[in-house]
């Protein structure tokens, strides 16, 4: 098996005790495992709980207001490009395939906008 990085690195948006939202790292450990025999082993993380999922389609040019996340969720951008801004002013650009954990369910929240030239589709998984 080819050597793989055993840790997946993502980001999250979370609120501090004062309600300010910030970006921060998320590290997901993986270990080699026979996940789908007879296929060769590959790295797999522990599985977490997820209660439901859905898909969102945001029109080109869409811009949201500053708000906390309605639920704790992973978002996975499937198409187009978006920018998210934490209430502390930090910004991150997301392209297709990007994942972000939204944990700022209290506090000031974040802004999001579609920056690509097409509608943005995303998968949302409530955790």
CATH of the domain at 37: 2.60.120.10
Q: Is the CB of residue 2 less than 8 Å from the CB of residue 41? A: no
| Residue that is written with structure tokens 């939202």 in the block | 21
Any domain includes 14: yes
Any domain includes 2: no
Any domain includes 1: no
Any domain includes 120: yes
Q: Please, how many CA atoms are within 13 Å of residue 40, restricted to the half-sphere of its CB?
A: 3
Please write the tens of the pLDDT for every residue from 61-114: 999 999 999 999 999 999 999 999 999 999 999 999 999 999 999 999 999 999
For the beta sheet containing 91-95, the strands, ordered from the edge strand earlier in sequence to the opposite edge, are: 91-95, 81-86, 110-114
Q: How many domains does the chain have?
A: 1
The per-residue pLDDT for 4 is 67
The per-residue pLDDT for 3 is 63
* Domain range for 69: 7-126
pTM (two decimals): 0.92
Any domain includes 84: yes
Any domain includes 111: yes
Report how far apart, in Å, the C-alpha atoms of 124 and of each of 19, 102, 108, 114, 118 are: 23, 10, 21, 16, 19
């Amino acid at each position: 098996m080819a050597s793989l990085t055993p840790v997946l690195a993502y980001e999250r948006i979370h609120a501090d005790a004062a309600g300010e939202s910030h970006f921060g790292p998320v590290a997901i450990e993986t270990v080699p495992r026979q996940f789908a025999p007879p296929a060769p082993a590959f790295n797999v993380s522990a599985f977490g709980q997820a209660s439901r999922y859905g898909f969102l389609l945001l029109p080109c040019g869409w811009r949201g207001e500053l708000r906390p996340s309605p639920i704790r969720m992973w978002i996975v951008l499937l198409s187009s490009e978006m920018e998210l801004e934490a209430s502390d002013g930090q910004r991150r650009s997301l392209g297709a395939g990007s994942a972000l954990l939204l944990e700022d369910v209290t506090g000031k929240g974040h802004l999001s906008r579609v920056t690509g030239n097409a509608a943005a589709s995303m998968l949302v998984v409530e955790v």
